[in-house]
Structure 1
Amino acid sequence: MDKLTDYSTDYIVITEDHDLNQYCDSWKNKPYLALDTEFMRTDSFYPKVALLQVSDGERNFLIDPLSIADWEQFIALMLAPEITKIFHSCSEDLLVFIRQFGLLPSPVFDTQVANAFLNQGFGLSYQNMVSEQLGIDVPKGETRSNWLQRPLSAQQLDYAALDVAYLPEIYLRQKEALAAMNKLVWVEEDCQRLGNNYKEELAQDFSQTYRNISAAWQLDEEQLVILKVLAEWREKRARHRDKPRNWIIKDKELVTIAKSIPENIEQLSQIEGLNTNFIHYEGRALITLIQDNLNIDAEKLPEALPRPLSNGQKKIFKKAQLLVEKKAGELNLPIEVLGRKRTLISVFQEILKLKSSATEELIDVDKMNLPDELLGWRKEILVEGLLEVLQ
Structure 2
Amino acid sequence: MKIHPLITSSDDLADLCARLAKSEFVAVDTEFMRENTYWPELCLVQIANTEEAAAVDPLAEGIDLTPLLDLLTDNEDVLKVFHAGGQDVEIIYNFTGRTPHPIFDTQIAMMAISQSEQIGYSNLVESWLGITVDKGARFTDWSRRPLTDRQIDYAIGDVTHLSKIFPKILKRLMKTGRGAWLNEEMEKLADPDNYRNDPTQAWKRIKAAGRNPQMLGRLKAIAEWREHEAQGKNIPRGRIARDETLADLASHPPKQQSDLAKVRGLSQGWKDNEIGKRLMATIGKAQPLPDDEMPPRGGRGAPLGKEGALVADLLKLLLKIRSREIDVAARLLTRSDEMEMLAAGVRKNLPILQGWRYEVFGRDALELVEGKLAFAVENGKLKMTHVDDAKADDAEPADQPDDQSAQ
The normalised TM-score by structure 1 is: 0.84
Structure 2 counterpart of 1:220: 212
| Pairwise CA distance, 1:184 | 1.3
| Pairwise CA distance, 1:180 | 0.9
Q: 2:350 aligns with which of 346, 351, 370?
A: 370
| Pairwise CA distance, 1:226 | 0.5
Separation of aligned partners in 1, 2:120 and 2:265:
38
Structure 1 counterpart SS, 2:137: coil
| Pairwise CA distance, 1:120 | 6.5
RMSD of aligned Cα (Å)? 2.6
Change (3 A) 1:43 1:255: same
Q: 1:284 aligns with which of 263, 277, 285?
A: 277
| Equivalences for residues 1-391 of structure 1 within 5 A | 10-67=3-60, 69-79=63-73, 80-119=75-114, 121-196=116-191, 199=193, 201-202=195-196, 204-214=197-207, 216-279=208-271, 280-294=273-287, 299=291, 302-303=294-295, 306=299, 307-309=301-303, 310-345=305-340, 347-348=341-342, 352=344, 365=347, 368-370=348-350, 376-390=355-369
- Give a deviation string over 1:270-312, Cα, whole Å, max 9, x none: 4333212334122222222222224x58646734765454444
State the identity as a percent: 27
Structure 1 unaligned spans of 5+ = 1-7, 356-362
| Pairwise CA distance, 1:148 | 1.2
Paired residue type of 1:59: E
The normalised TM-score by structure 2 is: 0.81
Paired residue type of 2:12: D
Q: If you compute each CA radius of gyration, which structure gives the higher value, 1 or 2?
A: 2
| Pairwise CA distance, 1:167 | 1.1
Structure 2 unaligned spans of 5+ = 371-407
CA contact (8 A) 1:9 1:165 kept: no
Higher relative contact order (CA 8 A, sep 6+): 1
Change (3 A) 1:200 1:119: closer
- Give a deviation string over 1:76-107, Cα, whole Å, max 9, x none: 21122221111111122122212333321111
Structure 2 counterpart SS, 1:13: coil
Change (3 A) 1:249 1:380: same
Separation of aligned partners in 2, 1:72 and 1:126:
28
Separation of aligned partners in 2, 1:155 and 1:227:
47
- Give a deviation string over 1:47-96, Cα, whole Å, max 9, x none: 21110000011111110001254233222211222211111111221222
CA contact (8 A) 1:33 1:55 kept: yes
Q: How many residues were matched structurally?
A: 364
Separation of aligned partners in 1, 2:222 and 2:368:
39
| Pairwise CA distance, 1:164 | 0.7
CA contact (8 A) 1:225 1:302 kept: no
